[in-house]
């Protein structure tokens, strides 16, 4: 259960991270859209898990590596932006949010766009016999 303070800090970080990451993407990578889908702050406020959604999907891994390698610069920029709101910016851990892919897969299955496992059982993962 998140406390109100955790939620408030997560909201501040999310809002400012969107600005930082999108301005960096505008400068370095044309045609890439980055959104911060959610931020979870630990109870001791020392770490923040940042979940990113990237479009187009092909750029996802490359972009995540670039962001992780520039975490120090991103954290410094956040500190500048939030100096009146936060005493200390938490350590940032970046992850790809694949929930949209999951939803799309479910949607495709429901619409019958995927192979039907009843008609083609070869597409199912084989069970391992113990």
Q: Is the dihedral of CA 84, 85, 89, 92 positive or negative?
A: negative
pLDDT in tens, 10-56: 999 999 999 888 887 777 667 778 889 999 999 999 999 999 988 87
* pLDDT given at position 124: 65
* pLDDT given at position 91: 94
Q: Which pTM does this prediction carry? A: 0.76
* Domain contains 128: no
* Domain contains 126: no
C-alpha triplet 92, 95, 100: angle, nearest 5°? 140
Distance CA 59, CA 113 (A): 25
Distance CA 4, CA 69 (A): 31
Task: Tell how far CA 58 is from the center of its chain.
Answer: 15
pLDDT above 70: residue 123 = no
Cα atoms in the 13 Å half-sphere on the side-chain side of 48: 27
* Domain contains 83: yes
* Domain contains 21: yes
Q: Which CATH number characterizes residue 34's domain? A: 3.30.300.20
Distance CA 9, CA 47 (A): 11
* pLDDT given at position 128: 59
* Domain contains 125: no
Residue 124 DSSP SS3:
coil
* pLDDT given at position 129: 57
pLDDT in tens, 75-112: 999 999 988 888 899 999 999 988 877 777 777 777 77
> What residues make up the domain containing 45?
4-120
Count of domains observed in the chain: 1
Poorest-pLDDT segment among 1-5, 45-49, 56-60, 67-71: 56-60
Q: Which residues pair with 40 in a beta bridge?
A: 49
Instruction: Give me 30's structure tokens.
Output: 């044309």
């Amino acid at each position: 259960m998140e406390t109100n303070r955790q939620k408030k800090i997560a909201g501040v970080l999310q809002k400012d991270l969107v600005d930082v990451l999108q301005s960096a993407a505008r400068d370095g990578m044309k045609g890439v859209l980055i959104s911060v889908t959610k931020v979870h702050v630990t109870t001791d406020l020392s770490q923040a898990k940042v979940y990113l959604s990237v479009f187009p999907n092909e750029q996802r891994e490359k972009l995540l590596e670039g962001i992780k390698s520039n975490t120090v610069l991103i954290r410094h920029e956040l500190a500048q932006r939030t100096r009146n709101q936060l005493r200390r910016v938490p350590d940032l851990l970046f992850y790809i949010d694949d929930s949209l892919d999951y939803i799309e897969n479910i949607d495709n299955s429901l619409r019958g766009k995927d192979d039907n496992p009843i008609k083609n059982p070869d597409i199912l993962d084989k069970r391992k016999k113990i």
